[in-house]
Structure 1
Amino acid sequence: MPIIYKLAISLFALSLTVFGIYGTYQIRSESQDLRDAVEQETRLLANSLLVSVENALRDHQIEDVQKLMQQLERIKPSVDVRIYIQNDNIIRSDAESLVWPKKVEQTLYQAAKEGELKQFYYPVDAPQLFILSLPFNEISSTLRGNVAIVRSLQSMNKNLSKTKTYILLSLITFILFTSLLCLLLGHVYISLPLQRLRQAMRAFRDSTAPPEPLPVSGKDELAVVTQEFNRMTAELFSAYRRLDVETEHRRKLQRVLQDADKLISIGQLSAELAHEIGSPLQIVNGRARALAKCNDDYDEVRRIANILVDQTDRITRIVQRLLEFAPRHSTEPMSCDAIAASAEVIDMLGFEARRQGVTMTFAHPESLPLISINKDSIQQIVLNLLTNALAAMVNTGTITIELSQASIIYADQTIPALRLTVSDTGTGIAPEHLSRLFEHYFTTRGRQGGTGLGLAVVKTLVTEMGGSVMAESESGKGSLFTIYLPWRKLL
């Protein structure tokens, strides 16, 4: 729920409570004031009437008393007067305008007999009448009795009802006005500044340029928050800039360290190669000299020739390790037919596959669009993957190479890509080795002459071309390598 709604509801509840208490107190005070006024006016009227009635009764002028009562009732229709005499006589006017309830009459009879002052409201819960009974003055009159005045409270109740209505309307009007005013002021002074802050936060999150500071007006809490936000965004942007610079420096330092590490490794490898190549060269030299002396012994010549082949193969593998490890200089992409480039590598390894009893299958569309990509890199990737697949075969098996069109998501954009998959039915890769497949010098075929550089080279080449490589394998059931290489179609 928005803050301004919470404030409006809170103000509504507070106003309702405060003005409800005030209105109740005001109504009670008004009711008491009206009752006091009615009692005071009735008492004055009764005292004035009592003197006249006593004088008239002393002179036995009952008709004058009745006329006086009639005139009084005509002047004040809400007032009715009766004279109760202790001998059970009642003097009343001929134009009584009010109905006297029996309970009221009985009470007034009793008050006259006892000669006591009596005043009360009838009924008690919702008074409609005010009754006042005054006894005669014993000194001034020979008769004993009471003057009873019954006054209707209809006018007072109307005034009280009007007061209640006025207070209720005032309460509702004030609460509605203050609530609407709270909503309006809350929208102007709270919602709008918070909305500007939220929009500024979103703009700062999505922008790469320094944000424009928000305008600050006033000296309230929101103005202070806006000032702090402007200061925070400026400091954050400055920190982002410093972080970018430091990241770039770190990348450069990392590249330098990597190059230095490569140079150290190449130096170590060169020393190792010098030692390893020296040994087979001595063997080749010695066997070549022995071969020169064997003119007629064909079997000896064949045996020495086989030794020479083995040692030259050994030298070739050692040199290949150096070439695979040496850094390559990336070449500019050129127009390339991916199907033809891959087919050349497959054809080159066909003899070795047939010798091992391995069937190689090349699946591809009838044609693929020419792409702008490096041909040598593609062939090196296919060569390394197929070499590893052939090495994973124990006796016979199947290697499947597949080329197809695909798409990849890069920087929230979908771009076309070349999809290359190489699957085999070889020995597979253990699950604990999958995470290290593309590390330099990691190999599971060390005893078979593996260098641990083939897949590392594949990873490097794919990364340089902005692609991705994934490996899936199950021990004893073969492996699947999937490569995505983004391309730009030639126009």
Structure 2
Amino acid sequence: MDAESLVWPEKVEAALYQAARDGELKQFYYPEEEPYLFIFSMPFNEVSSTLRGNVAVIKSLKMMNEKLSKTKIYILLSFITFILFTSLLCLLLGHIYISLPLQRLRQAMRAFRYSTDPPKPLPVYGKDELASVTQEFNRMTAELFSAYRRLDVETEHRQKLQRALQDADKLITLGHLSAGFAHEIGSPLQIVNGRARALAKCNDDYDEVRRIANILVDQTDRITRIVQRLLDFTPRSSAEPVSCDAIAAIAEVIDMLGFEARRQEVAMTFVHPESLPLISINKDSIQQVVLNLLTNALAAIVNTGAITIELSQASIIYAEQTIPSLKLTVGDTGTGIAQEHLAQIFEHFFTTRSRQGGTGLGLAVVKTLVTEMGGSVMAESELGKGSLFIIQLPWRKFL
């Protein structure tokens, strides 16, 4: 022991004296919390002897503590080094076996998004989860590319079909247009024919000849306007509304068909107020509506019958507002229309008189013209008892 160690603490001396008196073997550390001394005491005579003593061995733990400290530092450094090495190794292995495959997958996804060529399959290494993902990715891209090709083919076929349908729709529209114009031309031609026959029988009545001649001029002018629209190949355009006496306009149509009605022994009655204010309306359109309805009514009457035309002022409710209207009803005592056909009578080319030469355009034209004038049309009918058509047009006073 060095010189410093010869100065023992009082607690150590007291413990050694006590061990000598007791004559027992004793060893302990001092201090107990952070010991720097190891003390070993062994008696050198029996307890029964009068002279007692012991041999004490005191060992300094300074060097051992320093070695322990160094050992702790070494273990700590070794642990840190192991952690760093393991982390770097994990990063390296993760980069090689996880990051690089994932980067290849990402690049392949981006390339597949913008590529128009079949995708090249990614190489598969090993049998781990990433290898399984890569295999599924290769299978998925192949199936998607095949689906894209099928979709492109189907899209091309659909576009061709759409173009074909558009062409067919144009042809249908052209057919409707041509049929509509043919129907419009046919009606005045029938009137011209009837009036020409009547004119051939008028030898001495100059006034009647003049009146029939004026009707022929009006109808030929009307045919000229229709043909001009057909030559221009434009859809039916509504003429600008003009000042119109509705009673007089409808009376002209009734007068034009009077010869045909008398020939069929059909009584036509026109009920209307004594006078109505001038209204702003398309005269040609309202006359065409009345002409088509009366022509259909005459065709529906077998042998003899009656047609009643009634014109009056009424009102319609639109958007919670009461609007004055012009109400026109045309009723006949013809064969009537079956209830199951009422919902279709305003459709193009629908007719129940195909054997009698019906084209199915008269009521469709009526519906179109009334709609263009902002009005509504409805029909009531019963087989064997006749039909009633009700038309309401918004009342627009001429300013």
- TM-score, normalization by structure 2: 0.52
Alpha-carbon contact 1:283-1:311 (below 8 Å) kept? no
User: Whole-Å Cα distance in 2 between the matches of residues 169 and 205 of structure 1?
Assistant: 51
**Residue in 2 that maps onto 1:145:** 53
SS class of match (1:240)? helix
Aligned residue pairs total: 251
Local SS of the residue matching 1:100: coil
Q: Give the direction of change, closer, same or farther, for the CA distance of 1:98–1:316 in structure 2 (3 Å limit).
A: farther
Counterpart amino acid of 2:109? M
Secondary structure in 2 matching 1:196: helix
Alignment partner of 1:305 is 2:226: no
1:166 is paired with a residue whose SS is helix
Structure 1 distance, partners of 2:172, 2:219, is 34
SS in 2 for 1:197: helix
Q: Structure 2 residue aligned with 1:205, among 113, 116, 129?
A: 113
CA 1:242–1:298: 2 relative to 1, 3 Å: same
Give the Å deviation of 1:296.
8.1
Helix, strand or coil: the match of 1:172? helix
SS across alignment from 1:133: strand
Give the residue type in structure 1 aligned to 2:29: Y
1:170 aligns to 2:78 (yes or no): yes
Partner deviation per Cα, 1:251-310 (whole Å, 9 max, x = no partner): 323333444455456556655544442111122345567789897899846565345434
TM-score, normalised relative to structure 1: 0.43
Relative to structure 1, the CA distance from residue 103 to residue 140 in structure 2 (aligned partners, 3 Å threshold; closer, same or farther) is: closer
Contact 1:132 1:148 in 2 (8 A): yes
How far apart, CA to CA, are the structure 1 residues paired with 2:101 and 2:108? Answer: 10
Contact 2:189/2:219, CA 8 A, preserved across alignment: no
RMSD between superposed Cα atoms in Å: 4.2
Q: Could you tell me which residue of structure 2 aligns to residue 31 of structure 1? A: none
Q: After TM superposition, give the deviation of residue 103 of structure 1 in Å.
A: 1.4
Structure 1 counterpart of 2:186: 278
| Matched-pair contact (CA < 8 Å) for 1:280–1:312 | no
Instruction: Report SS of the residue matched to 1:190.
Output: helix
Deviation at 1:200, TM superposition (A): 0.9
Q: Which residue of 1 aligns with 2:248?
A: none
Q: Find out whether 1:447 has 2:370 as its counterpart.
A: yes
Query: What is the rounded CA distance, in whole Å, between the counterparts of 1:259 and 1:138 in structure 2?
Result: 132
Q: Compare 250-259 and 266-275 and name the one that shifted more.
A: 266-275
CA distance in 2, matches of 1:97, 1:125: 19
User: SS at the partner of 2:370?
Assistant: coil
Q: Deviations over 1:201-231 (max 9, x none)?
A: 0111111121222233333322222222122
- Partner amino acid, structure 2, of 1:105: E
Identify the residue that residue 117 of structure 1 maps to in structure 2. Answer: 25
- CA–CA distance in structure 1, aligned partners of residues 136 and 18 of structure 2: 85
Q: How does 1:234-383 map to 2 (within 5 A)?
A: 234-263=142-171, 266-267=174-175, 270-271=178-179, 273-286=181-194, 300=211, 305-314=217-226, 316-317=228-229, 319=230, 323-324=233-234
- Once the 2 structures are TM-superposed, how far is the Cα of residue 313 of structure 1 from its aligned partner? 3.0
- Secondary structure, in 3 states, of the residue corresponding to 2:33? coil
Structure 1, unmatched stretches of 5+, are 1-72, 78-94, 326-351, 357-392, 395-429, 431-440, 451-491
Question: What amino acid is the match of 1:118?
Answer: K
Structure 2 residue identity aligned to 1:151: K
C-alpha contact 1:284 1:311 (8 A) present in aligned 2: no
Flag the 1:306–1:118 CA change in 2: closer, same or farther, 3 A: same
- Structure 1 counterpart SS, 2:51: coil
Q: Secondary structure at the match of 1:447?
A: helix
User: Percent identity among equivalent residues?
Assistant: 68
Contact 1:128 1:152 in 2 (8 A): yes
SS at match of 1:214: coil
Q: Quick check: 1:214–1:230 contact (8 Å CA) kept in 2?
A: yes
Q: Secondary structure at the match of 2:6?
A: coil
Matched, 1:188 2:96: yes
SS in structure 1 opposite 2:35?
A: coil
In the alignment, structure 1 residue 230 sits paired with structure 2 residue 153: no
